[in-house]
Structures are given as C-alpha cells and as structure tokens.
A and B are shown apart, each in its own frame.
Chain A
Amino acid sequence: MRTILYLLQKEFIQVFRNKAMLPIIFIMPLVQMLILVYAATMELKKVDLTVVDLDLSETTTRLTAKFEASSFFHLTRAQLSSSETDQMLLKGKSDLVVTFPQGFEKDLKRNNEATVQILVDAINGSAAELSNAYLQTVIGSFNQKIRAEMMGVPKFTPPQQVSVIPSYWYNPELNFKFYMAPGILVILVTIIGLFLSSLNLVREKEMGTIEQLNVTPIKKYHFIIGKMMPFLFIALLDLTFGLLVAKIFFGLPFRGNILTLYVFTSLYLFLVMSIGLFVSAISDTQQQVLFVSFFFLIVFIIMSGLFTPVESMPVWAQNLDKINPLYYLIRIIRNVVLKGSGLLDMTRELISITFYGLAMFSLAVWRYRKTV
C-alpha cells in the first residue's frame, strides 16, 4: 500500500512540474464551455426565406406576414422566375424559397384548394427537415384559419379539432445549451482520462525510465493505479470547474447530487483510463497511442448521442453503442444534471460501466509486461 503512495507522490510531482498542465486544466474547460456550447447548437434561428409571390392577393400577403412574424425566418420578398429561384438556392443566398403561383387565391376560393411550392436547400439534412416542418406548421395553422373563415363558422363555435399543447419537462424552454453543456463536459473528462494517462505511461517507455522501474519490486497493478489516480483527480476537478463555468455564464441548473455525479464519473474514468492504459501497454511510442486513441475517441463521440439522438441510429448501431463508454456517461450526466437522477435511478448504467471498467482494467494489467 505504501508503494502506491510513493508512486502517486512521484506522479503528482511530475504532473504539476509539467508547464503545460495548468493551462490544460483551466483553459480547456473554459474554451469548451464558452465556445463549444454556444457553437454546437442545433437551434435554428434566422433561416433565410425568400417568398416569391406571383399572386399578390390578400391571402398570400396575409400568409407572408405570418412567416415574417416568426423569429425563425429572415424573410425576403422577391419577384423571381423559377430559374432565378434555383440560382438563389444554388448560391446559398436563401435556405428556403416559397412560391405562390399566379391565381393562388382564385384557386383556393373556386376549387377549395391551391398549391404552393416550397424549395429547401437540403445540404444540411436535419436543418432542412426542421425548417420545412416549421414552415408546414405555419401554413397548416393558417389553413385552418382561412377554412374557418370561408365556411363562415361563427367565432363562438370553432371547428372541432384536437389541439396539442406540449409541455417540455426537465428543460421547459428547450434551452439547447442545457442539453449540450453536460455532454461537452463528458468529452473534457474523456480527453483528460484517455489521453493524459495513456501518454504518461508510454512516455516512460519512450524515455527508457520503464526499464529502471521494471526491475523494482513494484507490482503491476500498483503501477497502473499510480498512472490513473492523478488524472482521475484532475478530471474531477475539471468537471467541477466546467459545471461552475456553465452555471455562471448561462445558468445551467444542477438538479442532482454532485456526489452522485462524482461516483459515476469516477467509475467512468476508471473505464476509459483502463482502455487508454491498455492501448499504451501494447504501444511503444506516444505517436501510436495518440493515433489509436484519437480514432476511437472520434467514433465514440459521434456515436455517443451528444449531437444526434442514439434512438435514431439503426438498431445494430445502438447495440454497438453498448461498448461505447461515452454513450453511458452522456446519458448519466444529462440525467443527473437536468433531471436530478440518483445512483439507483440508473442501476443499469451503473452496473454496466463498473463491470466494463473492471474487465478493461484486468486487460490492461495483464497486458502490461514488466519484461521487454
């Protein structure tokens, strides 16, 4: 046991003697919270909408005014030919083009039906889908309104319809920052856990210090734990710091228990560090470790559910996500921070990361050789 203390003492001295360390600890969370959280937003605002009104009737003017009233669209009116509207989309001057054909109002009154053309720039698929859906909603509600008017139904007996009033729990204002900030903190602790610990171990190989260390009676698991603890400590410190930054700058609520989060994050870090140390146990240079870790990190992040919901992935990919550590912690941290979930609310995640961590730790200890 005392050996571990001496190893930790050595590691801490080395970590804090490294001049790059303090900036990494304090600047990384600041940058991530203040830049990434704002930048990585999926909220759509100010979609460039061009309305080509060839009818110029009362109905089309009213509908155009509806579009204009929404903060969602940035509206331009233009009288363009169809080839000119194509150019608008092609040159990226407009994201959406709505065209009311000539005789729109006449068709509507005479045939009870009229067509409107909507062109959407779908380079960014999800943005296109979202803005189209929003446009449809505006048109849909307008539709109901004019139908009621035309049927001459008195105001006091509105037409029968089911109206849906959604209530968004845990994030009532659908604040995207509340959703992103915890997820981005997961990336932060992952980078610290995965990279710093594994680079540290393989550096001993590169510098040759491992040769001297391997002839000492230090036990293998002592050594591996000695490589984990300092970075576990730094990662938890950074998590706390990141949450504070989020609270101060955009009022991120914290509904759960911070200790719950520490327990989950520690278990998670134990897992990712074991993966990292396993990679460095089978590598000889920092370059190899960086390359392999980076590859896995990218795959893990994209599949983690940080940007896109895991539920919308194909079933096989969802099953594959069971071995993605980030998938677990992103779920956990959002639930703890926004919902106030406790340890027992997420026993499945708790059990999964614990056993997964133990398995990877055993693998790392087993693969780390004291012989060369």
Chain B
Amino acid sequence: MIEVGNIEKSYGKQKALKGISLEVQKGELFGLIGPDGAGKTTLMRILVTLLLPDRGYAKMDGLDVVSDFRKIRTLVGYMPGRFSLYQDLTVEENLQFFATVFGGTIEANYHLIRDIYSQIEPFKNRLAGKLSGGMKQKLALSCSLIHAPKILILDEPTTGVDAVSRKEFWEMLNKLRHKGITILVSTPYMDEANLCDRVALLQNGTILSIDTPKNITAGFSKNLFGVKVETTTQRFECVGLLKEMQGIDSVFSFGESIHITSNQPAIQEIQVTEYLNGRGQQGITVERISASIEDVFMELMQNEGN
C-alpha cells in the first residue's frame, strides 16, 4: 500500500533522510519510531505530497507521490504533528469544512468516525481552540477520516496528550485498521511501538531496523540487567561506577532504574551486586530482564555510533 524506495531529502547541508526504503502492507498499522530529528516528519510530508524528495521514489496505493500528487491527496488522510485545524471554527464547522472540500458530506462517512466523533459531539458548538489536548486529537483524527481515505498518516498524534487519551487513541487506531485502513503512525514513545503490527526504528535519517515489535525485541542477543536503586543521587553514582566495570557493554538510565548489557556469561546478577556493594552502594537490587524496544533502540544506536 505504501512503498518507499531509497528516499533522500536534505535541507541545505543537513541531510534529513539518507536513503530510506520500507513497505507497508494493506491494512497494516505501521509505526515509525524514533527520537526528535530522526526524519519521521520529513518522510511523512513526502508521502502526503507536501515535500518533494531529492532522490528515490515513493508510491501510495501504486501512485507516485511526485507525478500523481493530485490523486494521492484524495485518498490519503493526514494529521500533522501540530494541531492544524481552525481554532476559530467550531468542532462541527471544522468537520463540515473538511468533508466538503473533499467533495463529500459528514453523513456519507459518518460510520467511519462514529466511535471517535461521538465522544466530542456534545461539544460540537465549541470553538476548536477551546478544546482540551485529547479532544483536539480526536477532532483532528475525525477530520482526516471524514473523506474515507485508504491510507491514514499520523504524525506524532499522541505527543502532548495525557496517558488515558493516549490509550484511547491507540484503541481507535486498532479499530480503524480492522476497517481496512492502512495506517502509518509516528511516535517518539517506545512503549507505543508494541501496539503496532510492524515498526521501523529511525535514527538520524536512516532505518536501524524494520520488523514486528516481537521479533525486534527477540533479536536482542545480550544479557540485560535492571539495577534498582534507592535515591537519585545513588543512581548517578551507580551509573558512573557501572560504566567502569569490566565486561559491561552499555549503561543507560531508564527512569527509576539502570539498564546494563553484557555479553559475557561470567557476569550475572550476583557479580553486579557484589561490584556495587564493594564500592559502598547498599540497598540495590539487580535482576535479569527481557529487552524492550527502547533497549534495542539504544543498542542499535550505540552500534551505529561505533
């Protein structure tokens, strides 16, 4: 449904995309995962015909993004990263407007948005600018769906949205996928990667890996340990100490705990605990954990760096 072949794009001397290729199947929920500046938005803008690629090609439902841009605009729904609806129009006026400029009506495709729109319908006479973040996202999704697109492209739809709304939003995407809509979604949140059918890990304009979330984490070959500490100061000290420990490949702070990797069988939980205890760090627990997408990402980034 979406086919990207060796796309390159530069802004001046800055290379945003360095030859990206990927393919998204019909009805797939595909995630572009990567930190800010990885090139997610640039790739999406090329796919929705807002940007021209420097090199390479991209096809949406078999149509070329450069030569068939007019046709593509009618079959793609796009939700930009920044809220881009009219803040001085009401909820209903926004929806009405986007339905009509695509030559349709709200009623014709209401079945597609019913689940989402019904949640904000009580506020249909409220100005869009006065909605909460979560409701804005629902309205933006409704507006990008109202012309019944075959492909939906969502640029960081959950950034800046509260945890409950984020969960709801992903449930909605899941339902839309079951209606046969192909969805390409980008997110900087690694935990959301597990909700996709397949993901591409993007970093500095290159793809580090493309696979199902399960295969990606399963491909993690090293031993991974989580180190839990008691205080923030202790965490800082432990990170410093662990970086100097023999046989440890990487040390990253992961919120409350520290993740360390090693591919030496000689290093197990007990060795790490003893090492830290021996240097005056008490009250720590070390356990073997299975890798998350984020761990894989860190690992791939480190390899890339070397």
A residues near B (Cβ < 8 Å) are: 2-3, 6-7, 10, 13-14, 17-18, 207-218, 370-372
B residues at A contact (CB < 8 Å):
45, 48-52, 70, 73-74, 76, 78, 80, 82-89, 93, 97-98, 100-103, 143-144
The residue of chain B having its C-beta at the shortest distance from the C-beta of A209 within the complex is B84
> In the complex, what's the smallest C-beta–C-beta distance from B160 to chain A, in angstroms?
14
- Chain A residues with Cβ under 8 A from B89's Cβ? 10, 13-14
* B49 contacts across to A, CB distance below 8 A: 215, 370-371
A217 and B93 within 8 A (CB) = no
Q: Does the CB pair A208–B82 fall under 8 Å?
A: yes
| Closest Cβ neighbor of B90 among chain A residues | A13
Residue picked from A14, A217, A370, most chain B C-beta under 10 Å = A217
> Roughly how many angstroms separate A145 CA and B73 CA in the complex, as a whole number?
88
Contacts of B86 in A (CB 8 A): 10, 14, 209
Q: How far is the CB of A34 from chain B (nearest CB, A)?
A: 32
Query: Is chain A's interface secondary structure helix, strand, loop, or mixed overall?
Result: helix
Which of A7, A18, A372 is the one whose CB lies under 8 Å from B88? A18
Assembly CA distance A371 to B85 (angstroms): 18
Knowing A7-B101, A217-B70, A371-B50, say if A212 contacts B84 (CB, 8 Å).
yes
Contacts of A216 in B (CB 8 A): 73, 98, 101-102
Contact B73 A217 (CB under 8 A): yes
The smallest beta-carbon distance between A37 and chain B, in angstroms, is: 35
Asked whether A372 and B85 contact (CB < 8 A) given A211-B80, A212-B80, the answer is: no
Contacts of A13 in B (CB 8 A): 89, 93
Question: Which chain B residues border A210 with CB–CB below 8 Å?
Answer: 84
The answer to whether B83 touches A17, judged by C-beta atoms less than 8 angstroms apart, is no
Q: Is A10 in contact with B97, judged by CB distance below 8 angstroms?
A: yes
The 4 closest A-B pairs by CB, nearest first: A212-B84, A6-B100, A208-B82, A211-B80
* A371 neighbours in B (Cβ, 8 Å): 49-52
Give A215 to B154 CA distance when docked, in angstroms.
13
User: A341: shortest Cβ distance to chain B, in Å?
Assistant: 42
**Min CB–CB distance B18 → chain A (angstroms):** 20
The reply to whether B88 and A217 contact each other, CB–CB distance below 8 Å, is no
Q: How many Å lie between the Cα of A210 and that of B86 in the bound state?
A: 10
Judge whether B84 and A208 touch: CB under 8 Å. Answer: yes
Q: How far is the CB of B118 from chain A (nearest CB, A)?
A: 22
| Nearest CB in chain A: distance from B195 CB, A | 25
A3 adjacent to B101 (CB under 8 Å): yes
Q: Nearest chain-A residue to B51 (Cβ)?
A: A371
Q: Which residue of A lies closest to B144 (CB)?
A: A212
> A209 contacts which chain B residues (CB < 8 A)?
84-86
A18 CB contacts on chain B under 8 angstroms? 88
Residue of B nearest to A371 (CB): B50
Closest residue on chain A to residue B147 by CB atoms = A216
A215 touches B48 (CB 8 A): yes
* A217 pairs with B101, CB closer than 8 A: yes
Question: How near does chain B come to A197, taking the closest CB pair, in angstroms?
Answer: 17
**Complex-state Cα separation, A91 to B49, whole angstroms:** 70
Interface hub of B51, B76, B83, B101 (most chain A Cβ within 10 A): B101
